[in-house]
Amino acid sequence: MLGVLFSLAAAAGFGGSAVLARIGLQYVRPVTGTLISLIVGIIITTILAFVFHYDDIRGLAAIAFAWFLIVGILNYPLGRLLNYTSVSKLGVSKSAPVVGASPLFAAVAAVTFGGETMNLPLIVGTIAIIGGIGLIMGQK
Amino acid sequence: MLGYAAAIGAAACYGTLAVLGKKVVTDIAPPLVATAFSMVIGTIILAAIFQQQIRQDLIIRPALKGWIFVSLAGGSATWGVTFWYLALNQAPAVLVAPIASIHPVFSVLITLVFLRKTEHVSMKTVLGAVLVTFGVVIITLSSKWPGYNVFGINI
């Protein structure tokens, strides 16, 4: 039960973030808005990381930072900035569902590069996602 | 069109991240540590690439309301990530991922309630969001599909 509640809280956090960004981005450009949102996130996550994982941080290998670099570039200068740009241009209701279709790309990567196979749910899910995005994009 | 291209680009980045991120949190560092450090590095790179634009914006000084709401957006996203990891501590990913994937529906519902004056949400948009979320939940659960052989075809 706690897992379900926490999952719903996570969904509310991600969903609310897009709406709050939409309001803020009426006054701030996406690049600066992304930077401000990241600074707030850094303060919170860094404090939590040092409080709960101080020993793990001390034991980080040099190669870890190479991975953090790759993940950091994908997630923030690319991912979040593109996300905020789309929210700014389209609004939340059109942008959020398209951005939320990211598991489709993960599935494509897993099938193409990870050796996983297509199955019926994957096909059905893909069609549903493409149909949903088509509905949203097809509006005048 | 740029908006949709940006949204698809963001989805592609986050999707790729889901595959890479699994490796990072399994073999490299705990999720919170990976999030904190990748956020710091990503922010430094963003600031370096767009420093001119950021400097211009700081000189112009955007309205305080803008600063407050994007700050809250950052806090809300961090709330989401934190509860995501807390949920994974309590329940398996096969339960957490589909539930957390319904966030676009949350976005549309919150928009309907609080941003009615700013954004028009059509029935097509609501239907599209529900369809996308349904598709995401199905894909997230697809790893548990046992597989069947129907007329010689494996599905």
Three-class secondary structure assignment of B104-119? HHHHHHHHHHHCCCCC
Facing residue for B71 by CB, picked from A19, A37, A103: A37
What's the pLDDT at B95?
75
B chain contacts of residue A119, beta-carbon cutoff 8 Å: 142, 145, 147, 154-155
The reply to whether B104 falls in a domain is yes
> B60 CA to chain A: closest CA distance, Å?
10
Each residue of B74-119: pLDDT tens digit? 999 988 888 888 887 787 777 777 788 888 888 888 888 888 787 7
Residue at B124 is within a domain: yes
Q: Which residues pair with B150 in a beta bridge?
A: B153
The domain boundary, picked from B40, B61, B82, lies at B61
Indicate if B69 and B117 belong to the same structural domain: no
Structure tokens at A106: 């993960």
Asked whether residue B35 is assigned to any structural domain, the reply reads yes
* Alpha carbon distance A25, B72 (integer Å): 12
Determine contact, residues B33/A50, Cβ cutoff 8 Å.
Answer: no
Report pTM: 0.82
Smallest Cβ–Cβ distance between B106 and the set A16, A77, A131 belongs to A16
- Kindly state whether residues B30 and B86 are assigned to the same domain: no
**Predicted pLDDT at B26:** 78
* Grouped pLDDT means (10 residues each) for chain A, 140 residues: 86 91 90 92 92 89 90 89 92 87 82 75 85 80
Which residues is B153 bridged to in the sheet? B150
Torsion (CA) B64, A10, B35, B18 in degrees, nearest 10: -120
For residue B82, the model assigns a pLDDT of 85
| Dist. CA A122–CA A120, nearest whole Å | 5
Query: Percentage of residues in chain B with pLDDT exceeding 90?
Result: 17
In a domain, B149, yes or no: no
- Choosing among A58, A89, A116, A136, which should be mutated to test the B contact, i.e. which has the most B CBs within 10 A? A136
Residues B9 and B36 in one domain: yes
Q: B87 and A124 in contact by Cβ < 8 A?
A: no
Q: B4 to chain A, minimum CA–CA distance in Å?
A: 6
Please list, in sequence order, all residues whose beta carbon lies within 8 angstroms of the beta carbon of residue A140, skipping any fewer than 6 positions away.
Answer: none
Range of the structural domain that residue B84 is part of: 63-90
Question: B68: how many CB neighbours lie within 10 A of its CB?
Answer: 15
3-class secondary structure, B101: coil
Q: Which of B61, B77, B112 is the last residue of a domain?
A: B61
From B71, B90, B109, give the residue that closes a domain: B90
Question: Which residue among A29, A35, A135 places its CB closest to the CB of B47?
Answer: A35
Q: Based on the structure, what is the number of domains in chain B? A: 3
CB pair distance less than 8 Å for A105 and B133: no
Unique residue bearing structure tokens 């609080």: B114
Q: Is residue B85 part of a domain?
A: yes
What does the buried/exposed string (b/e) look like for A56-75 if buried means 16 or more CB atoms within 10 Å of the residue's CB? ebeebeeebbebbbbbbbbb
Q: Are residues B21 and B72 in the same domain?
A: no
Give pLDDT < 50 ranges for chain B.
none
